[in-house]
Chain A
Amino acid sequence: MNPEHAPIIQMKNIEKHFGSVIALAGVSVDVFPGECHCLLGDNGAGKSTFIKTMSGVHQPTHGEILFEGHPMHFADPRDAIEAGIATVHQHLAMIPLMSVSRNFFMGNEPVKKVGPIQLFDHDYANKVTMEEMKKMGINLRGPDQAVGTLSGGERQTVAIARAVHFGAKVLILDEPTSALGVRQTANVLATIDKVRKQGIAVVFITHNVRHALAVGDRFTVLNRGQTLGTAQRGQITPEELQDLMAGGQEMVELEGSLGGTV
């Protein structure tokens, strides 16, 4: 993290109520360009609600979102995407039956004019897809290879590459590694590192402390709809993070009974 940079997105005292349920009870997080900000929390901690607020799916009940210093009100996800906030979902990112190239440009199809009609510029799409995949270290048989033939980690990488190619300034990754094997996880983490070095802010949601510590610059832990603070890299140990996520005391007792292996 670079302290003289201004935060690209500031979430101030965000509250979100669903009827009588308080999902978020005043959460504040700043995200800086070029940092990987890990958002940790156990199931039900409010991580999903929080990132959905950031990506325009939910509107906050109270609180303020500042994007590049200006207050923002996202009416729907398209507003957030246009502003440069891209979300990569764990499962709902790619369409297996479609080719990598068609997936890559889905919703952003390049067109060329042939007379009065606009046609999908397949040549351009194929070329860009192959280049971008090469950059990310994925070997395609061809741009027409179906996404269904890629591994889970490769699909995440394609989705990340796509978001970056279309100008994302903030990249929200919703548990990108939770369903992946060791090797694929490593690939996705390496991709996150590459993206961060390009100056893009990465918000990395996970409940795996080791994945977070592998790439994270700062760590915010959510518990029962509240933040327990943001820690810098190097200022916190994996054990402390784990305890924060689980809400402290009970976890210590549990861990004792399990021999400290969790």
Chain B
Amino acid sequence: MSESAQNTAVTDERIKEISPLRKALIRPELGGMVGTVAVFTFFLLFAFDSGMFNAQGMMNWSVVSAQFMIIAVGACLLMIAGEFDLSVGSMIGFSGMMIAIFSVTLAWPVWMAIIVTFAMALAIGALNGWIVIRTGLPSFIVTLAFLFILRGFTIFLPQVIERKTIIGGVKDAAEGDWLAPIFGGKILQGFFQWMGDAGIIAVFERGTRQGQPVVDGVPMLIVWAIVLIIFGHVLLTKTKFGNWIFASGGDAEAARNSGVPVNRVKILMFMFTAFCATIFAVCQVMEFGSAGADRGLLKEFEAIIAVVIGGALLTGGYGSVLGAALGALIFGVVQQGLFFAGVESSLFRVFLGVILLGAVILNTYIRRIITGER
């Protein structure tokens, strides 16, 4: 009795019941979920026979999506903390080049090259963040400067040292190294061999790899993507630090007034973005066995687009790592799917522009619902 009286007492006649649809709309992942379903439906209908959904095809778009996911997680947390990093693509190129220079030109052990490269990347990320905090300039401008600075060094250094813009031979150098397989290796090889033997996935019928499955394991790149997504999601939604990330991006001044160490949060997020870019770079260098001066070109924009498709606001303070991961999945599936479907690849850019615009408009609308602005 008292319970029900309480409930009627707290009902405010001016608070309209909100529909479940509106409630679902304010979940940042919604756009990503709808998009993922739409994209898969489309390609299942129109490209099912193209080989896109056999073992090789699936591995193809999974790897591309995982690449986007790795940098999207970093960009997502940084964007929610209220900042951008336009130097992600250049950081990928730079980190990859540093590993090649350290391990091939200087003949350091590969594990040492990887660790030193990570340390350099984290320092550059911290420098980005420190400049943004100290000068109060928009991160857009500061990291745009680093986009050029890092890319410039990535082209300059190999030309001066090796007189070329691609340094190869990393694969040989990584032979027998203990750290390299964590980035360039594969897992679950036994499981895939078993699936091949059992006839679940195709096996090579001739040649030196006869009897081996066409897909022989899950690349560590995909493992890293999953680990980073889980880490980012838990950090953002389930920890104290996650609350600080939202607060720093939502209103830095209000957060400071409440005792949130906003500067530390932002600098750490710049470092995390650089960390993610370097994971991408190491995986790529270990896979290709070489580092090129043009690696990672335009990746910063692709990361930001994936994050925005995933429901984050460009102005910060709102977004989701899972959404960003779905955004990256959409990105990867469409890019590779159009190839499988035999569509002219330039149309991918058209699709990208259209979906980006749609996502931003939807996000602005959702923001109005949340904040009750009219």
Residue numbers of A with Cβ under 8 A of B are 77-78, 81, 87, 89, 92-98, 102, 105-109, 111, 117-120, 122, 134, 139, 141, 146, 148-149
Once bound together, how far apart are the Cα atoms of A146 and B313, in whole Å?
A: 15
| CB proximity of B324 to chain A, nearest CB, Å | 17
Residue B34 at the chain A interface, CB threshold 8 Å:
no
Contact partner of B251 (CB less than 8 A), chosen from A92, A111, A139, is A92
Most buried by B among A94, A106, A111: A106
Residue B258 at the chain A interface, CB threshold 8 Å:
yes
Residue B257 at the chain A interface, CB threshold 8 Å:
yes
A149 touches B255 (CB 8 A): no
Residue B3 at the chain A interface, CB threshold 8 Å:
no
Contact partners of A134 in chain B: CB under 8 A:
10
B240 touches A78 (CB 8 A): no
B242 touches A120 (CB 8 A): yes
B243 touches A77 (CB 8 A): no
B240 touches A97 (CB 8 A): no
Residue B342 at the chain A interface, CB threshold 8 Å:
no
B370 touches A139 (CB 8 A): no
Residue B371 at the chain A interface, CB threshold 8 Å:
yes
Contact partner of B367 (CB less than 8 A), chosen from A97, A98, A107, A108, is A97
Residue B318 at the chain A interface, CB threshold 8 Å:
yes
Residue B15 at the chain A interface, CB threshold 8 Å:
yes
Contact partners of A117 in chain B: CB under 8 A:
239
Given contacts A98-B317, A134-B10, A139-B11, is CB(A92)–CB(B246) below 8 Å?
A: no
Once bound together, how far apart are the Cα atoms of A120 and B253, in whole Å?
A: 22
A139 touches B372 (CB 8 A): no
Q: Name the interface residues of B208-243: CB closer than 8 Å to any CB of A.
A: 234, 238-240, 242-243
Once bound together, how far apart are the Cα atoms of A96 and B255, in whole Å?
A: 12
B240 touches A109 (CB 8 A): yes
Residue B33 at the chain A interface, CB threshold 8 Å:
no
A-B contact count (CB 8 A): 89
Contact partners of B255 in chain A: CB under 8 A:
95, 106-107
Given contacts A95-B246, A139-B15, A141-B18, is CB(A118)–CB(B240) below 8 Å?
A: yes
Contact partners of A105 in chain B: CB under 8 A:
243
Q: Name the interface residues of B238-295: CB closer than 8 Å to any CB of A.
A: 238-240, 242-244, 246-247, 250-251, 253-255, 257-260
Contact partners of B26 in chain A: CB under 8 A:
146
In this complex, what residue of A is CB-closest to B313? Answer: A97
B238 touches A148 (CB 8 A): no
Contact partners of B15 in chain A: CB under 8 A:
139, 141
Q: List 7 A-B contacts (CB under 8 A).
A: A89-B254, A95-B317, A97-B318, A97-B370, A106-B258, A134-B10, A139-B10
B254 touches A94 (CB 8 A): yes
B246 touches A98 (CB 8 A): yes
Once bound together, how far apart are the Cα atoms of A107 and B313, in whole Å?
A: 22
Query: Which are the 9 A-B pairs with shortest beta-carbon distances?
Result: A148-B371, A95-B250, A107-B259, A107-B258, A109-B240, A149-B372, A97-B317, A106-B258, A92-B254
Once bound together, how far apart are the Cα atoms of A111 and B238, in whole Å?
A: 10
In this complex, what residue of A is CB-closest to B17? Answer: A141
Once bound together, how far apart are the Cα atoms of A196 and B257, in whole Å?
A: 23
A149 touches B370 (CB 8 A): yes
Contact partners of A108 in chain B: CB under 8 A:
258-259
A149 touches B242 (CB 8 A): no
In this complex, what residue of A is CB-closest to B26? Answer: A146
B243 touches A148 (CB 8 A): no
Residue B373 at the chain A interface, CB threshold 8 Å:
yes
Contact partners of B258 in chain A: CB under 8 A:
93, 106-108
In this complex, what residue of A is CB-closest to B317? Answer: A97
Contact partners of B257 in chain A: CB under 8 A:
77, 87, 89, 92-93
A146 touches B253 (CB 8 A): no
| CB proximity of A72 to chain B, nearest CB, Å | 18
Once bound together, how far apart are the Cα atoms of A148 and B26, in whole Å?
A: 13
A139 touches B246 (CB 8 A): no
Once bound together, how far apart are the Cα atoms of A77 and B256, in whole Å?
A: 10
Once bound together, how far apart are the Cα atoms of A92 and B370, in whole Å?
A: 19
Once bound together, how far apart are the Cα atoms of A148 and B313, in whole Å?
A: 15
Contact partner of B371 (CB less than 8 A), chosen from A81, A87, A122, A146, is A146
Residue B175 at the chain A interface, CB threshold 8 Å:
no
Known: A95-B247, A95-B317, A102-B247. 8 other contacts (CB 8 A): A77-B257, A78-B259, A98-B243, A106-B260, A107-B244, A107-B258, A120-B243, A149-B371
Residue B12 at the chain A interface, CB threshold 8 Å:
yes
Once bound together, how far apart are the Cα atoms of A107 and B258, in whole Å?
A: 6
In this complex, what residue of A is CB-closest to B371? Answer: A148
| CB proximity of B232 to chain A, nearest CB, Å | 14
In this complex, what residue of B is CB-closest to A78? Answer: B259
B250 touches A81 (CB 8 A): no
B260 touches A107 (CB 8 A): yes
Contact partners of A148 in chain B: CB under 8 A:
370-373
A96 touches B371 (CB 8 A): yes
Contact partner of A111 (CB less than 8 A), chosen from B12, B240, B313, is B240
| CB proximity of A246 to chain B, nearest CB, Å | 31
